[in-house]
Structure 1
Amino acid sequence: MSNFITEDWLRANYSLSDGTEIHLPATCKLTPAARGLITDHHLVVKYYDEQGRLFIESDDENTSTKTNDTNEQPVLKQVHGLTSQQGYDAAECQLCHQAVQKKPDTMTHLNAHTLVSKSDPRLVFRAKLDSCIAMAVWLQIEVSKNPQQWLTDIRSVLGNIMRADALNEPLSNFMIGGLNEEAIHKLSHNPLKYLGHDHIVPSAEQGRDACLLNLLRTEVREAEISAASIFINRDLVVSRPDLMQGLNRLSSAIYVLMLLCVQYETNSIWPTKDTLTSKLGVQ
């Protein structure tokens, strides 16, 4: 990769859906057009070095990067890969609320401040998310070129869900393949109307990509059911509606992607974002 990150390179390697997280080399330099694209699409940029450490741009006004000079590299600060925060907070036991000097093997962090037993059901949900992320990453090197950018967005959303849960932050609205959550919902519920193909039942005849994506879809479904056991109480009060809806839409997005792969097996046509939005009547 060139030391310069250009707008064309970003467009070729990412779908650029709003809020997508992208990773760039810590030694790279951003052209003004590339930086403008990142700002316009609200991309979350993390930088990595040869040792695998993650960084974000410093928000210190005295050290921030000039955006109109391609000869300057971003001024970076090292952060935790999940929380994007510097440093570590002392954790306390959820039961006794005392600081824990040495973490026992039977406990783990629920968040930066709290240690819980590894039998905590919230950790089951985290483990399911972890499996989803692992599957999404694996599929990025297994499927053909067409679904790649959708998978980049899916991987990003899974990471955002993990972060929102761990930090108790709201999950931001997201886009996958350039489509917002409402568009994904419409496509998945009425594919015959909008895509020209009815609902599918997974089978080997649908091709390799659709079969592999179905593995990820089922993983996300399991994560959604696990989340429901935590975030929906006996009175049907939902404590994290953002996460529940996010997981539901994520499953729908993978199903839509499966349908697109099935159609491609037949007609070798991969629809653009503009084609899909025009079918939905979205401007």
Structure 2
Amino acid sequence: MSTFITESWLRERHGLSEGTELRLPADARLTPAARALIDERHLSLKFHDEQGRLYRATEEPDADGAPCLQAVHGLTGSARRVAATCQLCGSAPADKPAGMTHLNAHELVAKNDPRLQFRAQLDAAIALAVWLQVELPEPAELAAWLADIRSLLGQLMRADVLDEELAGFAVGGLDQAVLHRLSHAPLKYLGHDHLVPECGHGRAPALLNLLRAKVREVEICAAQVFMAAGFKLRRADLLHALNRLSSALYVAMLLSLLHRRGQPWPSAAELSRRVQGEAP
């Protein structure tokens, strides 16, 4: 039996900020409006079956709207298996040594490689983000922000593993510039000054602050790994994204506190208008 995916279905379950990756049931059938929304937001799609296997669409849907699927690796998106070689000797070992692991699909490195420390920190941040998604399903606006944050963390991991430039991103429908300004002048744009975390702020701000602090740890680790002499950055895109992700979580903390006090969660359009000076 097919799962019909409508525009409303997508909006209820996903953040849908530009560049987000969506994972849909393998039997999904997209309505024209849902397909138009995906194309408009430049969303990427993967599909999963009941056994957890991942697929990507290889061609246009058939006459019934069913996607033509090909099994892929969950992180790389590749359908090909590549033999990895040792970073030290260049050979492809028959059995992976216990002290080595994959840096990417092509290369095995020692487990004390600094980039693996960065990925371990990023992995911990992803785990914490998923936990927050489970613990904070309401309000719906916050759930959408968390979906975007989880997606961005996954994009960071993918960009590092594949050595690809990180694409532009948004959280809660807000671009990087708006997030930056909101986080630096919250009293002006949100009506509340900077927070010093405390238990009186409640559960949601406290949990969001845990993830914000973890993201800062990931950012510092990234600086140690990717910053060379003279402050030259090899992956400025990753550090910039982590910095803005920290800003997004700080803004989410403020909005959650204000929502707890009875204020409605402002839309992305409203927040953008405030920053652009169209409203007080």
Q: TM-score range by the shorter chain?
A: over 0.9
Specify the SS of the correspondent of 2:23: strand
Give the whole-Å Cα distance in 1 for the aligned partners of 2:35 and 2:226: 38
How far did residue 2 of structure 1 move?
Answer: 7.0
Give the whole-Å Cα distance in 2 for the aligned partners of 1:172 and 1:195: 28
Count of aligned pairs between the two proteins: 276
Contact kept in structure 2, 1:92 and 1:100, CA below 8 Å:
yes
Which residue number corresponds to residue 33 of structure 1?
Answer: 33
Contact kept in structure 2, 1:181 and 1:249, CA below 8 Å:
yes
Match status 1:149 vs 2:149: no
How far did residue 72 of structure 1 move?
Answer: 2.3
What are the ranges of 5 or more consecutive residues in structure 2 without an aligned counterpart?
none
Give the whole-Å Cα distance in 2 for the aligned partners of 1:211 and 1:2: 40
Contact kept in structure 2, 1:144 and 1:209, CA below 8 Å:
no
Which residue number corresponds to residue 238 of structure 1?
Answer: 233
Which residue number corresponds to residue 82 of structure 1?
Answer: 75
Match status 1:264 vs 2:259: yes
Give the whole-Å Cα distance in 2 for the aligned partners of 1:4 and 1:15: 19
How far did residue 274 of structure 1 move?
Answer: 1.5
1:33 maps to amino acid? A
Which residue number corresponds to residue 61 of structure 2?
Answer: 65
Give the whole-Å Cα distance in 2 for the aligned partners of 1:37 and 1:248: 28
What are the ranges of 5 or more consecutive residues in structure 1 without an aligned counterpart?
none
How far did residue 105 of structure 1 move?
Answer: 1.1
Specify the SS of the correspondent of 1:235: helix
Give the whole-Å Cα distance in 1 for the aligned partners of 2:263 and 2:180: 24
Specify the SS of the correspondent of 1:56: strand
How far did residue 282 of structure 1 move?
Answer: 7.5
Give the whole-Å Cα distance in 2 for the aligned partners of 1:160 and 1:95: 29
How far did residue 144 of structure 1 move?
Answer: 4.2
Give the TM-score normalised by the residue count of structure 1.
0.94
Give the whole-Å Cα distance in 1 for the aligned partners of 2:56 and 2:18: 18
Which one of 63, 87, 92 corresponds to residue 94 of structure 1? Answer: 87
Match status 1:118 vs 2:111: yes
Match status 1:5 vs 2:9: no
Which residue number corresponds to residue 135 of structure 1?
Answer: 128
Give the whole-Å Cα distance in 2 for the aligned partners of 1:24 and 1:34: 12
Bigger shift: 129-138 or 269-278?
269-278
Matches within 5 A, 1:224-235: 224-235=219-230
How far did residue 65 of structure 1 move?
Answer: 1.5
Give the TM-score normalised by the residue count of structure 2.
0.95
Contact kept in structure 2, 1:56 and 1:76, CA below 8 Å:
yes
Specify the SS of the correspondent of 2:77: coil
1:78 maps to amino acid? A
Which whole-Å deviations, capped at 9, do the CAs of 1:80-124 have from their partners, x for residues lacking one? 000001121111111111122210111000001110111111101
Give the whole-Å Cα distance in 2 for the aligned partners of 1:2 and 1:138: 29
Superposed structure 1 runs of 4+ greater than 3 Å apart? none
